[in-house]
Chains A and B, each alone.
Chain A
Amino acid sequence: MGKPKAKVDEKKCLACGGCIAVCPQDAVAMCGSRAYILDEKCISCAICIRTCPIGAITGEVY
């Protein structure tokens, strides 16, 4: 089982862009006014998870 990768809860995300600004892998982008994670780029560092002010990003094991 791999490490958990970041996953954005689309219903919670308020599109502030903080996760995009801090991602060291450029693995987050804005799509339709919501952040989304490019799985293949995510290195499971969890920086975006900790940064999200409203807890809209969680770790998910694929």
Chain B
Amino acid sequence: MKYDVVVVGSGPAGSVTARFAAESGTKVLIIERRKEVGVPVLCGEGISRKIDEWGMLEGKRWIASKMEGARIYSPDKTCVTLSADKAGNETGYVLYRDIFDQELARQAVKAGAKIMMNTNATDLLTDKDKVKGIKAKMFDEEIEIEADIVVGADGVESKVGKWAGIDTTLKPEDLETCCQYTFTNVDCKDAYCDFYLGKEIAPGGYIWVFPKGKDVANVGIGILASLSESGMAKKLLDDFISKDPRLKKGEPIRFLAGAVPVANPIETVRDNLILIGDAARQVDPITGGGLTHCLEGGKIAGETVGRAIEEQDFSKEFLTAYEEGWKEAFGKKLKRNYLVKEILLSFEDKTLNMLADSLKDYKFDEISTLSLLKALVIKHPTLLMKLRPLIKVAKEI
């Protein structure tokens, strides 16, 4: 079996990379260990509406609801509101992630990519240390897939990077451990996404309530693994739910676990190999959001891979165009937000309460972590001292 490119993983990062590689005329195979693309969902399902500008998805079936804004609750329940009318309606969607993933896979196939399901990558195929493809198990059958370029889009649990000698192991302080119920029969009074902060509520993370319609909502938690004990995320989430009147009559129609890298950017390129998406730790360390990076980075990756095949140059040097591209597009933001994450983690609950109190009537011009950050600095110039490393990063950019 010989392809130009083999993509490990049919999530958004894998499918978008495969699509743009196939569109530039390369022979692409996606392998997927699961039985169905997009299932099980492992995601809070929120996404920024800036994906509209990229036009990568057709139809509307993947949209569960449109977000009107966000509310952030400090430990003492002081509420900071980021609303859509102030932000020119540019907010976001709550997704049906399974349909979303399947739509992206459909686009990849339309562009000419092939998909092999129930196929679990087991190692790199190498010849004298040179990457030649992927070894995999399709059901119980061991197979070898030759390819000039291997794309590791194998998620938070990525092995492809490790096989290629890239250290992708996450420190517990760089992983959010998560779980989430999808509840029905709850009272979502509006289309705002709510976030709850506090050491008692979600140490090193937050609880979210994302409405998926009038009476359906995703209710989830992420806590920092370094602050976690066995089963703690679920316990804290259950506590929260039992005390929230909106959720009292809710019944779960889904329960899922998740893990989100909140790390600094890593290297993503080797000879004949690239990493992308959660496997490349391309996640915003503050929000835990990664979907937009998969789409934006996937396009850059697919086009770079396409050019590499055309030129028959699969060297690290050639593929570095992808790494430079994604670092330019969103890597700087990730680096900055990692520093902000560290600062936020150092705040006591009472500091968060004080900061929220100072922003409770603030009018934000956009719904983003950057606009929140700017507001904080305007209100609390002394915070600038703590944020000084950011200025250094800004200079490097």
Contacts and interface: CB of A to CB of B under 8 A. Distances in A.
A21 B229 CA distance: 16
B162 A26 contact: yes
Interface in B175-202: 175, 177-179
Interface string B148-180: 000000011111001000001111100101110
Interface string A32-62: 0100000000000001011111110110000
B234 A54 contact: yes
Contact of A14 (B40, B156, B221, B231): B40
Contact of A16 (B42, B159, B162): B42
Interface in B118-174: 120, 155-159, 162, 168-172
Contacts of A30: 33, 120, 157
Most buried by A among B155, B156, B177: B177
Interface string B223-253: 1010011111110000000000000000000
Given A14-B256, A21-B156, A53 B179 contact: yes
Nearest to B223: A53
User: Which residue, A18, A29, A52, has most C-beta atoms of chain B within 10 A?
Assistant: A18
Nearest to B234: A54
A24 to B, nearest CB: 6
A22 B42 contact: no
Interface string A1-32: 00000000000001111101111101001110
A50 B257 contact: no
A18 B156 contact: yes
Interface in B252-287: 255-259, 261
B34 interface: yes
Nearest to B227: A50
Interface residues of B, number: 36
Contacts of B172: 22, 47, 50-51
A33 B34 CA distance: 7
| Interface core residue of B159, B175, B229, B257 (most chain A CB under 10 Å) | B257
A16 B234 contact: no
Given A26-B162, A53-B257, A21 B157 contact: yes
Interface string B200-214: 000000000000000
B170 A58 contact: no
Contacts of A23: 169
A21 B179 contact: no
A53 B169 contact: no
Contacts of A22: 169-172, 175, 225
B216 to A, nearest CB: 20
Given A22-B169, A51-B177, A55-B231, A14 B162 contact: no
A17 B259 contact: yes
Contact of A21 (B40, B169, B228, B257): B169
Most interface-central of A15, A16, A21, A31 (chain B CB within 10 A): A21
Contact of B258 (A16, A26, A49, A50): A16
Contacts of B170: 21-22
Contacts of B256: 14, 16
Contacts of A54: 179, 231, 233-234, 257
Interface string B108-121: 00000000000010
8 contacts: A14-B40, A14-B179, A16-B156, A16-B178, A18-B257, A18-B259, A51-B175, A54-B233
Interface of B: 33-34, 40, 42, 120, 155-159, 162, 168-172, 175, 177-179, 221, 223, 225, 228-234, 255-259, 261
Closest 6 CB pairs of A and B: A55-B231, A18-B259, A17-B157, A53-B233, A20-B157, A16-B257
